[in-house]
Amino acid sequence: MNPNRAIKILVLLLAVLIILTVSISAFENPSSPKLDGTSVSVLPANVIWEKTYGGASDDRAFYAVPAGDGYLVVGSTKSIVPNATVGWALRLDKDGNAVWNKTFLEGSGTELRYAINLTDGFLLVGNEFLPSGDVNGYVVKIDIQGTPIWNTTVGGEGVNKLFSAIAAQDGFVLVGSTSYDTNGDSHAWVVKLDLNGNVAWGKTYGNAVDTVARTGVLAPDGNYVVAGYTNPRGASSYDFLLMKIDTAGNMMWNKTYGGTGSQEAYAMTKAADGYVIVGDTVSTVTDIDAWVVKVDLNGTMLWAKTVGGKNADSPSFITPSKDGGYLVGGFTFSFGAGNRDFWLFKIDGSGQVLWSCTQGDAGFQEAYSVIEAGENQYVMVGWTDPIGQPALIGKALYDFYVVKLSVPQDSNALSFQFIAYAVTVFGILLAALLLLLKLRHKPRTNQSVAS
């Protein structure tokens, strides 16, 4: 083969590869919306199974934990006891079928907001509502069959709400907010119980500003790290708040994170070298977005990422994934099939979004827990408009909603990647072939050997 012709073929092949690469970058799955700051498509999830639980009134699930080979889901229901909101706990098997369900009622109404899986049962954390309008925290320990072992009410005058808890070696640390002054501002509130539900101490944090504690974890040194939000500038402009307190409730340090607009933290988890906090950030440009912040063990910010679309998108939960990174769950108005959908995305250790998906229909769905159930299998828990009843959309008559799903692959992107791979390999083989032909047809020069 003529060497000049071989060079022309190689140049032509290189041009084809360049054009194909540009095409992949420009047109990869153009029909899928994109997350801000990433190139990750937001695709509908693959549903493995889905279940709803509830009645004719309003039923909302707020949290879930693994329980044996199934799940425990907690929330509140107005469908069981006439004219009352009661705490509701459901034990489900691995396929979402109800094993048992229990209701809990204190005061004039009760809700369950959080649960901890214990070796001998579960700790359920929530609130009781009083006829006066006051609210107290409510905690009940149950055995594996849902039978109460003990219960405790904490609070007093005013509105005293619990959102979550931390399991410690010598008891439990309850996390919430209390509002007992005349101007209505709240203070972060942390209460320590012993293993039998007796109050060891209770502390409030925050000055003359609105401060709320929403979540917490056990620090590596045995102390407690609590996250929430505070309003240092007024005008409903919040910052993430992170506090470290010792085992007696004394403040060790506190940090805030934020910027323009308002940022509120709702959930956190431990990392090998610090903590990852999630909440939302409000701006005039993109409405509400998820905001994920990574800090070291001393509270120094390592990175912060904003994830979302043009409408309201908010996370409510974060948990480490089994293969590294973190799973973040919540709801989205920007993506999905309906008004508000379940939203699940995964980030790596640097905050880069690896994938994102939605689950829902034309109604409203809002997620509050994510459990990794296997390889590419996730159980999400929250509430939904009654499925198959379009007349009830937007009526605030929700059902518990539990769905097991898998995350789809972007088939268009995979097709482009396969084409690019195939063409690249073909090009390498063709270049090698041309080089071989050139060497085989290279003319030899006559050489004489001196005698």
Asked if the model's pLDDT at residue 451 lies above 90, the reply is no
Q: Rounded to 10 degrees, what is the CA torsion of 263, 268, 273, 274?
A: 50
451/444 Cα distance (integer angstroms) = 22
* pLDDT computed for residue 431 by the predictor: 61
Q: What's the whole-number mean pLDDT along residues 203-219?
A: 92
- One DSSP character per residue, 108-126 reads TEEEEEEEEEETTEEEEEE
In sequence order, the 6+-apart residues with CB closer than 8 A to the CB of 430 are 9, 10, 13
CA distances from 225 to 239, 245, 253, 268 (A): 16, 6, 10, 10
Q: Whose CA is closest to 90, among 168, 79, 82, 269?
A: 79
Residue 289, strand partner residues: 281
Q: For the chain, how big is the Rg over CA atoms in Å?
A: 28
265/290 Cα distance (integer angstroms) = 10
120/195 Cα distance (integer angstroms) = 12
Cβ distance 113 to 126 under 8 Å? yes
What is the residue-averaged pLDDT of the chain? 87
Strand spans (E) along 54-155: 59-67, 70-77, 86-92, 98-104, 109-118, 121-129, 135-142, 148-154
Strand spans (E) along 106-261: 109-118, 121-129, 135-142, 148-154, 159-168, 171-179, 187-194, 199-205, 211-218, 224-230, 239-245, 251-257
Model confidence band, residue 429 (pLDDT cutoffs 50, 70, 90): low
Cβ distance 162 to 149 under 8 Å? no
- The residue written with tokens 């195939």 in the block is 422
Cβ distance 289 to 283 under 8 Å? yes
* pLDDT computed for residue 406 by the predictor: 98
Q: What's the whole-number mean pLDDT along residues 388-396?
A: 91
Least confident of 78-87, 101-110, 234-243, 376-385: 234-243
Span 225-273, pLDDT tens digits = 999 999 876 667 899 999 999 999 999 999 999 988 899 999 999 999 9
Cβ distance 402 to 91 under 8 Å? no
Q: Whose CA is closest to 222, among 297, 294, 277, 154?
A: 297
State the sign of the Cα–Cα–Cα–Cα dihedral 398, 400, 402, 407: positive
State the sign of the Cα–Cα–Cα–Cα dihedral 250, 256, 261, 262: negative
71/92 Cα distance (integer angstroms) = 5
* pLDDT computed for residue 442 by the predictor: 54
Which phi and psi angles does 254 have, rounded to 5°? -145, 145
* pLDDT computed for residue 360 by the predictor: 96
- Structure token pair of residue 167: 């399991």
Fill in the amino acid letter for 244.
Answer: K
CA triplet 370, 376, 382: central angle to 5 degrees?
A: 20
DSSP conformation class of 386: P
Span 181-199, pLDDT tens digits = 666 689 999 999 999 999 9
Span 3-58, pLDDT tens digits = 566 566 656 666 655 665 544 444 444 334 557 655 678 999 999 999 999 999 99
Domains identified in the chain and CATH numbers:
42-409 (2.130.10.10)
* 3-class secondary structure, 176: strand
425/437 Cα distance (integer angstroms) = 18
